[in-house]
């Protein structure tokens, strides 16, 4: 007779209580003016310096004291140049690229985020660009902020976003011939089951708490 006990997966392994319910979260609507603190100054200065502002910026999100500008991929380079060069904006430092993969928002699955810092005015904002899985191309910002070189390579390596115009877009963290892009949500965690005396415990992404 074999005892199964309370350990191990049976069924879907869902312990959340929602039974596999998937709620599509509503896209946050653009924040309304006034945004608060220095965000209004930034938005005004950007509008003044870049007349096609409303064409390029899809959405403005003000959340938890941070301003995020959702920019269209084609206009990214122009907006970035204005943000860096205009006297009242002067976001000289770009703190890298962060990628996020949202598999449920079909049509804009891959997001790239650029936190910007202005040392002159002591301000921070964020640029966010979304591209679909079918055409994951974003123009490269290496010519504007040279520090983005490695960050864009890392985002390419981990998510598969291709940065057009990057001088040498190759893998940086994984071995050069690694297949797949590890930090995407459809890439498994890749662990192995752990052997204990008398039982094996599956890898973290296949594991469950208890029945």
- Residues lying near other proteins in the complex (CB under 8 A) are found at 1-3, 5, 15-16, 25, 63-66, 68, 92-96, 98-101, 113, 115, 119, 122, 124, 126, 145-151, 154, 171-175, 178, 182-183, 187-192, 194-200, 203-205, 209
- Using alpha carbons, select from 177, 30, 172, 187 the residue that is nearest to residue 97: 172
Give Cα separations from 104 to 35, 107, 129, 198 (angstroms): 29, 9, 16, 40
Of the pair 75, 84, the CB lying nearest other proteins is at 84
Whole-angstrom Cα distance, residue 90 to residue 116?
10
Give the nearest distance from C-beta 35 to other proteins in angstroms: 16
Give the nearest distance from C-beta 91 to other proteins in angstroms: 11
Of the pair 96, 165, the CB lying nearest other proteins is at 96
Whole-angstrom Cα distance, residue 139 to residue 164?
5
Whole-angstrom Cα distance, residue 14 to residue 211?
10
Give the nearest distance from C-beta 52 to other proteins in angstroms: 26
Whole-angstrom Cα distance, residue 166 to residue 64?
33
Give the nearest distance from C-beta 10 to other proteins in angstroms: 17
């Amino acid at each position: 007779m074999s005892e199964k006990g309370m350990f191990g997966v049976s069924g879907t392994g869902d312990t959340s209580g929602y039974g596999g319910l998937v709620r599509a979260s509503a896209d946050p609507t653009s924040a309304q003016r006034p945004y608060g603190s220095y965000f209004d100054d930034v938005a005004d200065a950007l509008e003044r310096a870049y007349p096609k502002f409303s064409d390029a910026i899809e959405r403005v999100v003000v959340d938890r004291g941070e301003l995020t500008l959702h920019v269209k991929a084609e206009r990214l380079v122009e907006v970035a140049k204005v943000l860096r060069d205009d006297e009242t904006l002067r976001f000289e430092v770009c703190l890298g690229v962060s990628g996020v993969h949202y598999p449920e928002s079909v049509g804009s699955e891959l997001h790239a985020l650029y936190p910007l810092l202005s040392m002159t005015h002591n301000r921070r904002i964020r640029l966010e660009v979304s591209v679909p899985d079918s055409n994951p191309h974003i123009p490269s910002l290496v010519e504007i902020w040279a520090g983005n070189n490695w960050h864009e390579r890392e985002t390419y390596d981990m998510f598969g976003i291709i940065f057009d115009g990057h001088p040498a877009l190759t893998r940086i963290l994984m071995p050069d011939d690694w297949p797949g892009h590890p930090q995407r949500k459809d890439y498994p965690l890749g662990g192995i089951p752990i052997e204990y005396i008398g039982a094996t415990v599956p890898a973290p992404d296949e594991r469950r708490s208890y029945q």
